[in-house]
Amino acid sequence: MLQVSLFKDLAFLRNPASPFTFFSFLRDKELLYHFIHTNNLYPSRKLFSDYLVWVSRFFANKISFGKEAVAARFHEKPSGTQTLVVTTRDVSSGDVSEI
């Protein structure tokens, strides 16, 4: 069993209404009713691991493994808005790029 409160998931403390809370995961997987009726606030490690995988799928196109951030700066657009530009380096090839 998980030894940390499920309220300390990836999103609940920051925004309880977030679609990325453990409770949202349970609802999406149709496990919420069952979990609530177990009267246990500590999910199994397997269930919490499944939750982490579930959340990661929402961000699969935004995650780059094997890269390190080497710089970050703001770029101001003519409209006055700012964009964060991150310079990354591929740890295998050494190639540098900006996102």
Instruction: Tell me: do 78 and 50 sit in the same domain.
Output: no
Same structural domain, 10 and 51: yes
pLDDT at position 18, please?
Answer: 96
Q: Give percent above pLDDT 90 in the chain.
A: 72
Could you tell me the pTM of the whole model?
Answer: 0.68
Query: Are both 48 and 75 inside the same structural domain?
Result: no
Q: 51 and 32 share a domain? A: yes
| Average pLDDT over all residues of the chain | 92
Residue 29 pLDDT exceeds 90: yes
In a shared domain, residues 44 and 85: no
Question: Domain containing 86: what range?
Answer: 67-98
> pLDDT (tens digit, 9 = 90+) per residue, 49-71?
999 999 999 988 888 889 999 99
Query: How many domains does the chain fold into?
Result: 2
- Contact 1/44 with Cβ under 8 angstroms? yes
**Mean per-residue pLDDT, 71-95:** 94
Q: Which long-range contacts (CB under 8 A, 24 or more apart) does 95-98 make?
A: 96/70
Residues 10 and 53 in one domain: yes
